[in-house]
Structure 1
């Protein structure tokens, strides 16, 4: 649900905010009528959803599996899948394949089967277990918060004419600075500096610190040999050299200076 974040802020206080599957059972495990945001086990769905996220974050597989199962069986599968998709970007390291798995499990649970029936519940458990077993990290939210705080610090510093207490990683970010190589033919500044394909091939297309594999390096070398621009062997070798892990942005000028 697009507005679930605002709903979560209510902590389920307003029963009219619930969106339970209309086909879900109207009584809990004890035979009592369920409140709007009550699960079959008698728990508040907001609390169960919060527990699920903390279980994923702390890699507690059993608790994560139960929380997902509880939400799915109680008619809140939409809530479960919405939150799991958030967790893969909020609480896991970047690059985790689990993001694709969660998408697939949701498709199976909601399009091929019914989300609350046994196959849908199995998908819910699988999705939660996959998230709990992935490498946990708050790197994305921490980065987002830091960059936002740095932006505020820079703006306040400009108002007072002072240096910011915290700055963006790139600092001033201008030609001639530590990240000079970024100003190539793809930027206005680089074009005005006459940095064309030769500069890009020699400096801007380098990768690392692992470097190109053998086949890719061979193709790159041949491309530079066959181009109209004449590249020196020194330039070609540099273009294929892995980036220095201790000086990722260092680039020689090939005129005897760095």
Structure 2
């Protein structure tokens, strides 16, 4: 990816000679420096990433640096729960570099370098592009096979036929098919579809209170016209135990229910 250059390029190289439009003050090709920055972040090389940020910004290429930084955020950082703050930090540093300082000043370069450090220290992953490109690639032949009543050679991670073994959790009262075809109600939602992978103690406490005392503890007056919320309900101990059990990260869609039923087979 080659960004457009909106910066003035009136600087000279470090030896005092004129630099070409594509050159940095250190005599590098700016496109190669941008590539080195992104590869440095991808490989968690803090020093190389910070140097490239400094070299680009001091050379009058601050705008293209910040553009590449934002591209790298999406392409090469995992940005999971522990690093979800990174985009906001990069945005704030960019605002400082552009609005409080000059991008090619020492402080402007410093803001860019701090952004580079944050990005290089964050967990890196190129997964989103690999996944998106693969799904885009297989999409036409996949749907063509389905339309011809054939099994796709390459498929998405969810089954096209009513979501396969995930249907019991997905097709709940919040979907038309869950309500109309399978009769899924709020009881099914509490027992199965509302389960989480990290159920907190307070979540477990109040969910149990709600299930055991839902006649008084749920605002039924607000849902009188909804057929899928035809409570109050009485739950078996098996249903309550299942509802209060966190889902398994290694097998997140595992359920004890029959997709043709609204409750657990072995409950009650």
The change in CA–CA distance for 1:246 and 1:71 in structure 2 (over 3 A counts) is closer
Tell me the CA shift for residue 53 of structure 1: 0.5
Which residue matches 2:99? 111
Out of 159, 171, 184, the position equivalent to 1:171 is: 159
Aligned counterparts of 1:159 and 1:241: Cα–Cα separation in 2: 39
Please state if 1:121 is matched with 2:131.
no
Aligned counterparts of 2:37 and 2:144: Cα–Cα separation in 1: 39
* Matched pairs, number: 239
TM-score normalised over the length of structure 1 = 0.83
Please state if 1:71 is matched with 2:56.
yes
Task: Give unpaired runs (5+ residues) of structure 1.
Answer: 9-16
Tell me the CA shift for residue 50 of structure 1: 0.8
Q: Secondary structure at the match of 1:178?
A: helix
Q: 1:81·1:106 contact (CA, 8 Å) conserved in 2?
A: yes
Q: 1:18·1:36 contact (CA, 8 Å) conserved in 2?
A: no
Q: 1:92·1:135 contact (CA, 8 Å) conserved in 2?
A: yes
How far does the alpha carbon of each residue in 1:98-146 deviate from its partner, in whole angstroms, 9 at most, with x for none? 2232122112212222221111111111111111112121111111122
Q: Secondary structure at the match of 1:166?
A: coil
Aligned counterparts of 1:159 and 1:183: Cα–Cα separation in 2: 22
Which residue matches 1:83? 68
Task: Give unpaired runs (5+ residues) of structure 2.
Answer: 216-231, 258-263
Please state if 1:217 is matched with 2:204.
yes
Tell me the CA shift for residue 205 of structure 1: 0.6
Q: 2:11·2:59 contact (CA, 8 Å) conserved in 1?
A: no
Which residue matches 2:184? 195
Tell me the CA shift for residue 162 of structure 1: 4.4
Which residue matches 1:14? none
Aligned counterparts of 2:97 and 2:136: Cα–Cα separation in 1: 37
Aligned counterparts of 2:147 and 2:56: Cα–Cα separation in 1: 49
Q: 1:90·1:138 contact (CA, 8 Å) conserved in 2?
A: yes
How far does the alpha carbon of each residue in 1:32-73 deviate from its partner, in whole angstroms, 9 at most, with x for none? 223222222222221111111111111121111111001111
Mapping of residues 152-167 of structure 1, within 5 Å: 152-158=140-146, 162-167=150-155
Which residue matches 2:125? 137
Stretch moving more, 130-139 or 36-45 = 36-45
TM-score normalised over the length of structure 2 = 0.81
